[in-house]
Amino acid sequence: MSLAFKGTALKLYEQTRTANPMADTDTMWMLLEEKLCNRSHIISLRSKYLNMKWNEKKESLTEYAERLRDVASNLPDNLSDDMMVDTFMKGLPAYLKVRALSVQGSFDEIVSRVTLISNEMKVQRQRVEAYSRRISIGK
């Protein structure tokens, strides 16, 4: 049976075989499936968490923070507030990240403050666009 595995899967097989020397083939498959599926699921979740980005066209910053929290809550690791903040900030677009770097506080406080910054930037952008339209109409 060990010939069916390579790398990490082989190590898991050997560990499982050592821990369960009397297990028959069906039991071994069940034990291996449990270990391999859980591990790959956790790796997938961790990768999803670390690569999350804010989709500003489809969600608010608060919704992005909630999505981040949901994925983090399914990880076996206890993520610190600093780790949550770091992942949140990495997922922001560059124009907002630059403005948000000076923000300090807990995860919730930072989400709140970055939301305010984003809203202020949106208002400023709208004002500039309105001003630009007025100027172009006046020409």
Same domain, 88 and 139: yes
CA atoms of 15 and 11, how far apart (whole Å): 6
The answer to whether the Cα torsion of 46, 49, 50, 52 is positive or negative is positive
Same domain, 59 and 107: yes
Same domain, 128 and 61: yes
Residue with token string 């690569």:
51
CA atoms of 123 and 135, how far apart (whole Å): 18
Same domain, 86 and 123: yes
pTM, two decimals, is 0.65
pLDDT in tens, 75-93: 877 889 999 999 999 999 9
Same domain, 67 and 135: yes
Same domain, 131 and 101: yes
pLDDT in tens, 12-30: 788 888 888 898 988 888 8
CA atoms of 19 and 64, how far apart (whole Å): 43
DSSP state of 4: G
Q: Is 54 exposed, middle or buried (0-12, 13-18, 19+ CB in 10 A)?
A: buried
Same domain, 95 and 126: yes
